[in-house]
Structure 1
């Protein structure tokens, strides 16, 4: 196990100590410092780096945020937090939680769509006029651009109905369900050819089983990312508070 972060000990920490406490290698600590994930270390006269417990908290927070939303976004966030207010930092963390919750909701809707497609084979459901969506409405519901839906159409993944007079796209229930499944599969990292194969398999007797397995995996992945973000919370709070204290002028005697 790594070293515990001793709140009473703000510094100095040697590079090797920071590495053990954060779970990174010495070289990774230096690389993450260079990338701005942690503040620059103080250099002594002989050139050795000197860190504080804040650096350890920043590295641990980075690990959790990177697991939740990816390393590039995590690097940007850790660098920005050092100049933001507590309210701005809290809003940024809240936005990440909202993003993960939305991804989870979309994966659940994709599961519901898959069940509906399976049930439709046995008992076709009549479509009501209010069930249809325009391309703008469906894009907003899936949090994608309308151009993405047009691309999926070109690739044969989601085929809308068309209003002949205006050539406007209209998506009925079958297309909406397909679009939800495609969005979830793409979010899981599947390329267009793989998604096309999976969508084509839905009409086979055993086809939905593989897609259902993928969607369950997607939900498990989102749960792990959410837990990683929660674990990063305490360390992230320490980083934000340290930044606030550093930016707040101290009391000076008159």
Structure 2
């Protein structure tokens, strides 16, 4: 049983009230509670659910995190946050900000690499050994596994030089730039065939402009996700601190 008799009321919120204030349907509110995405509702003696404003904040937190990191990860993360300490919750949300910042930085570097495509012909053959990277170094710079770079090579997206008697891979500046573009396009959701097609047209005006458009759209999407995460962080803090003693610190607490 979910609903108390309708009509004007004060105090505890009904499922319908929470649904109206959060923008979710009645069934979605029940499902998200069952999954632990929002804290459990109180139950009256006759079995009716009784919610509080904190449940509305919890649903808003879920909406923001779902935009920022996807609904699957948001559903996994939130049940842990509701029982976490304030420090643990702040650390978890902070890690998401770091991830988005890294995605933005990589998209910006991909943009820079894209613009360097124009000058590639002028700088061909002038690459210095100090500018090159090993597969391990490049994988670390991109935040992917070396096996991912090998896969991209197998799919024709990258063509590093092979050096030494062990045929080790060597990525020069142009290879590094291509890898950054591939990483950004893959993160934007482009499949291998689409990435291969875009890379093949980079030296043509139409292909260059299309890839520019894709990378601009990726940066715009990261901005939307970042704003959603900022909003979600406020709601997460409200839920985590509800009913708890405020944290104590050793530093100054007053701002003059």
- TM-based fold match above 0.5: yes
Matches within 5 A, 1:203-242: 203-242=203-242
2:68 maps to 1:68: yes
TM-score, normalised via structure 1 length? 0.89
Judge conservation of contact 1:11–1:51 (CA < 8 Å) in 2: no
CA RMSD of aligned residues (A): 1.7
Give SS of 1:136's match: helix
CA distance in 2, matches of 1:243, 1:201: 58
Question: Which residue number corresponds to residue 102 of structure 2?
Answer: 102
Alignment size in residue pairs: 237
Deviation, 1:46, is 2.8
- Inter-partner Cα distance in structure 1 for 2:181 and 2:243: 43
User: Is 1:154 aligned to 2:154, yes or no?
Assistant: yes
C-alpha contact (below 8 Å) 1:33/1:39 kept by paired residues: yes
Q: Deviations over 1:141-188 (max 9, x none)?
A: 000000000000000001111114012111111110000000000000
Give the aligned partner of residue 251 of structure 1. none
- Shifted more, 236-245 versus 104-113: the winner is 236-245
1:173–1:243 CA distance, 2 compared to 1 (3 A) = farther
Question: What's the CA shift string for 1:98-124, capped at 9, x where partnerless?
Answer: 110000000000000000012223554
Deviations 1:26-62 (CA, angstroms, capped at 9, x unpaired): 1111111111101121222332211111111110011
SS of 1:110's equivalent in the other structure is helix
8 Å CA contact 1:83–1:243 kept in 2: the answer is no
Structure 2 contact 120–174 (Cα < 8 Å) conserved = no
- The aligned counterpart of 2:248 is none
* Distance in 2 separating the partners of 1:78 and 1:243: 18
Q: How does 1:1-254 map to 2 (within 5 A)?
A: 11-122=11-122, 124=124, 126-242=126-242, 244=244
> 1:217 Cα shift?
0.2
Distance 2:15 2:160 in 1: 58
Tell me the CA shift for residue 244 of structure 1: 4.0
CA distance in 1, matches of 2:122, 2:129: 22
**Would the aligned equivalents of 2:161 and 2:171 in 1 still touch at CA under 8 Å?**
yes
How far apart in 2 are the matches of 1:118 and 1:244?
A: 58
Structure 2 unmatched runs, 5+ = 1-9, 246-256
User: Matches of 1:238 and 1:157 in 2, distance apart?
Assistant: 46
